[in-house]
Amino acid sequence: MAVLENVSMNNTNDNLDAELRILVKNAQQYPPKSRERRKALDRLIKIIIESGELNTFKRWRSHPYYQDMYQEALSKTCIEISKKIDNYYPEKRVMAWVNQVLKWRFIDVLRERKQEEEKRRQFLDNYLCPVHEKQDKEMESLRKFIDKDPEKILQNTHIRNNHQGNLQIILQMRLNEEGWKSIAKKLDTKLSTVSGFYQDQMERQNILDYFRKYL
């Protein structure tokens, strides 16, 4: 039975590879940026995504941002395949080529995420540590900036369906050293929701740049 299953799986993989090779060759025959090549590439990408043969990097599934990172890497992979379709040569199975590109792009995304997390850690260390660890002048500047919110970015960045739970209010409470349990209760939301929202927003480049611009 196992032998029959392996044979069936191999046949399925062979059939998929044959189909993908035809689509690749079809795309390659048209001029770059032509409508015909675009249509052929769209068909190729669709089959690749629906193939069930994409590497999913199981060891990283427990990472809190796995889904976002994977989708970003997959998107970059599709773009790269489309731009470099002429670089594919038939000595390698199409999905082997695709998964190699996907691996490279996933590593890139992981590296970028680590860099963002390091920037965020440094940012928090520099600006959002407890009051007694900051000089009074620096803390006063930070408080004034958050209270004023000159471009209203903090006020307009809020938990979904909870305008009261905006980033400005959360930052003000954090500067007053309020715990997440207290903040969640005051905003009438789950602790995991408000803390997750805060962590996510404080990793975003536009928020970091906003603080750096005025502080």
Share of the chain above pLDDT 90, in %: 47
Q: List the one residue out of 142, 146, 157, 144 whose CA is nearest residue 206.
A: 157
| AA identity, residue 163 | H
Residue tagged 């999913």 (tokens): 56
Gyration radius (Cα) of the chain, Å: 24
HSE of 98 in the Cβ direction (CA atoms, 13 Å)? 24
What's the whole-model pTM score?
Answer: 0.56
As a whole number, mean pLDDT of residues 44-73 equals: 90
How long, in residues, is the chain? Answer: 215
Q: List the one residue out of 122, 134, 126 whose CA is nearest residue 203.
A: 122
With bands split at pLDDT 50, 70 and 90, how would you rate the model's confidence at 39? very high
> What pLDDT score does 4 carry?
36
